[in-house]
Chain A
């Protein structure tokens, strides 16, 4: 082996060793986190995992949700893939002088060369756009990052080194096949006109080859400690992602004898998947752009949260690696404050925007759990809510004896009456606390009852036996209180053998559908918009009466982003005669939260501007007289927003059920 080969080998081994060491620390840190993974198994359904890997890693589907930045990324990503072939070829050449991939055939090799030449230029233009974005456009979500500038400089350095190397090589060893490398050819023409001799060109080519080698190896060593780590972690994170959109909160085993702590108080309480999430983030800022809290000047940015959690992981490296978890510092501190954690509306806009499938809400929920269960640390307003749920089985201070008062004069039967009469019903109508106690929402309950009666579907309610699902407590971290209520409700449902449930509350819907199976009941849960859409489709109700209104539709987070239902409410609206629907830009998965999710409904909004007002302003863009919604809390928040804008006599908020009730006989 030539001396230069030996030197190269030593450099490669050294760099690889350094990289392996740094990577092994990341691996060990991930292993040192002991928390359970949300939604359990991440190694099942391999075919689907491979599929998502192809669509979202190789074909960059999620990245391309944002057009310009997406295309830029595709150019750089595929360039990296294609040019790595050349890098490997050059590595082999350095070790075994004379090595070339030309054995694949002359025309194949020429094609490869052409493709590599094209991608070199594509990467350069991609990086050029990236520089332009960072330095000139400066979108807010991207923020300032020295790391990014280093990475972009290294990437463009690599491409320029390749072009320089190729151009000098062309001059040193002229060959007809070099014509495919049109750009390098053109540059080599410049060298020629400057009088560079083949001998000098040969030296220069070797020099740039070495420069490229060193940049590649240096980059490799740099990656594990930079945000560019995503080149290694985005793919596994996509592979191990939660495959389907709907998800429930992880059930905590509160009875576990050995449990000394609940939720995530320290970074070690999170799971390996959470750690991988932190590694996979490259701070693109899409989550922050989508975050209703951030966009109304709250201290929460999902991007900053992920970044700060990663910092917490690194800051506790020694304690984590030596297994001294009691020395790991708390997550909450100067960067991740209480206000950051409580600002989240759990709307999942961040998760929906994330191109690498990071699950931010899980972490926030786990941190809240620790704060509430272990330290009773929460906004003061929540104490009243917890007490009400505990004592009155509703977040409101209302008597449980009056839960069914809204049915007076409606002839709605209870499950108890149904059971006593020996009859059966198809659906249990889960009314929920809002539908039972909130004056505005009671009207929606009544509209739904009216529709169900028109359709002839047999249904009943639980009446006084219904209790809060515990969801407002659960999402505020009070797993203990929530589980008490869930269990009591599950017992009642099981007692009546309930199988099918319809509800007009997306929060009840999500809890019943996605969470209660952990508590011993399998239910077929349908949201009222889904049921109404089906009733219209099957002709059981017919919207024949014209509703001469212009409507815009507001997607609730828990029917939309949490459960992927965007069509049912829209098909309903489309079926109402004369009703005109004006969609706004921020709809469906890009819709903005009303501000009530994640138990924010029950907290004061002390910081920044109001989320509901911002959302109302977006909806007002539709210039519609009616805002259609599907959630009692959205209705409350948007009605308030319209009041703030002093447009109460011009714009109304209606539940989809109310519109349908109006349109049917």
Chain B
């Protein structure tokens, strides 16, 4: 099988986000970069599928600035066979990213299945998976909790609003976007980390794939941190007094009553 997986490099989950001086993005100094956690489920699923189907290869793709090579190596260390990097400027939008990935994927032959995370945890846009499937004219399922692989068909359980589960069958080739719970991602062993260090990462400059600034659909006007949360208020007195104060505050300050 030809298994593809797309990943994104994002700041580590505990990073204290700061806005850069020009208000056009985050300040990346000192940021520790990791693979977006949902993408780890995608990589793991790809590797498990490969292990069940002898002779399969897993190719991992990512689009971003040159530092993403490090994250691609993480995927290689987990067990991916090949890595493809699309070298882009720091800020691209979901449309550009999906187009980059689609063009890079086209160069690697026909996929049997493409895995992605359901969204990246940096901007939480959750658009690339669907855009990518659309560009490649593939059926797709997002927020996938479970997948069963039949011949020519994948049956997935996906989470929908309100916590209900939707079960759908997709013909292959198709795209699956992973939700937490799909699997438990593995931890790379030292020999695999060492091997991954030596592997070649195929790199395409964004322009060579025909993706330009003109493809950008979203213009970032300004980026701000949410206002700092004000300290909570502790109500004193007995239960009756507290209730009275609470109602008063909800009506007069919070204006919700």
Q: Is the CB of A400 within 8 A of B190?
A: no
Query: How many Å from the CB of A290 to the closest CB on chain B?
Result: 33
B48 cross-chain contacts in A, Cβ below 8 A: none
Instruction: Say whether B189 contacts A375, CB under 8 Å.
Output: yes
The reply to whether A254 and B190 contact each other, CB–CB distance below 8 Å, is yes
Total residues of chain A contacting the partner, CB 8 A:
19
How far, in whole Å, are A400 and B32 apart by their CA atoms in the complex?
10
Q: Which residue of B has the minimal Cβ distance to A401?
A: B16
Binary contact readout B15-36 vs A (1 if CB under 8 angstroms, 0 otherwise): 1100000000000000010100
Q: Are A398 and B187 in contact (CB under 8 A)?
A: no
Set of chain B residues within 8 Å of A373, measured between Cβ atoms: 189-191
Against A, the Cβ 8 Å flags (1 = close, 0 = not) of B164-195 are 00000000000000000000101111110100
- Which residues, 476 to 510 on A, are CB-close (under 8 Å) to B? 480
Instruction: Mark interface residues in A378-395 (1 if CB within 8 Å of B CB, else 0).
Output: 101001001000011000
**Distance in angstroms between the alpha carbons of A644 and B32 in the assembled complex:** 39
Number of residues on chain B facing chain A (CB within 8 A): 15
A374, A383, A386, A398: the one contacting B190 at CB < 8 Å is A374
B36 CB to closest chain A CB (Å) equals 12
A391–B13 contact, CB under 8 A? yes
Question: CA–CA, A594 to B85, complex, Å?
Answer: 49
**B209 within 8 Å of A (CB atoms):** no
A262 touching B13, Cβ below 8 Å: no
Task: Tell whether, in the assembled complex, residue B14 and residue A392 are in contact, meaning their CB atoms are under 8 Å apart.
Answer: yes
Dominant secondary structure of chain B at its interface with chain A: loop
Q: What residues of chain B lie closer than 8 Å to A383, measured between beta carbons?
A: 187
Q: Does A399 contact B (CB under 8 A)?
A: yes
Number of interchain pairs (Cβ within 8 Å): 38
Q: How far is the CA of A65 from the CA of B166 in the complex (A)?
A: 68
Given B15, B16, B34, B188, which contacts A376 in the complex, CB threshold below 8 Å? B188
Which residue from chain A places its CB closest to the CB of B16 in the assembled complex? Answer: A401
Asked if A399 contacts B193 (CB within 8 A), the reply is: no
Mark contacts of A58-79 with chain B using CB atoms, 8 A cut-off: 1 yes-contact digit, 0 otherwise: 0000000000000000000000
Given the known A-B contacts A380-B184, A391-B34, A392-B32, are A397 and B13 also in contact in the complex, defined by CB atoms under 8 Å?
Answer: yes
- Are A374 and B191 in contact (CB-based, < 8 A)? yes
| Min CB–CB distance A389 → chain B (angstroms) | 11
Interface residues of A (CB under 8 A from B): 254, 262, 373-376, 378, 380, 383, 386, 391-392, 397-402, 480
Closest CB pairs A-B (n = 10): A401-B16, A391-B12, A373-B190, A399-B14, A376-B187, A376-B189, A392-B14, A399-B16, A391-B32, A480-B190
- List 4 other contacts, CB 8 Å, given A397-B14, A480-B190: A376-B188, A386-B187, A397-B13, A398-B14
A-B contact pairs, 22 of them (CB 8 A): A254-B190, A262-B190, A373-B189, A373-B191, A374-B191, A376-B186, A376-B187, A376-B188, A383-B187, A391-B13, A391-B14, A391-B32, A391-B34, A392-B14, A392-B32, A397-B14, A398-B14, A400-B14, A401-B15, A402-B16, A480-B190, A480-B193
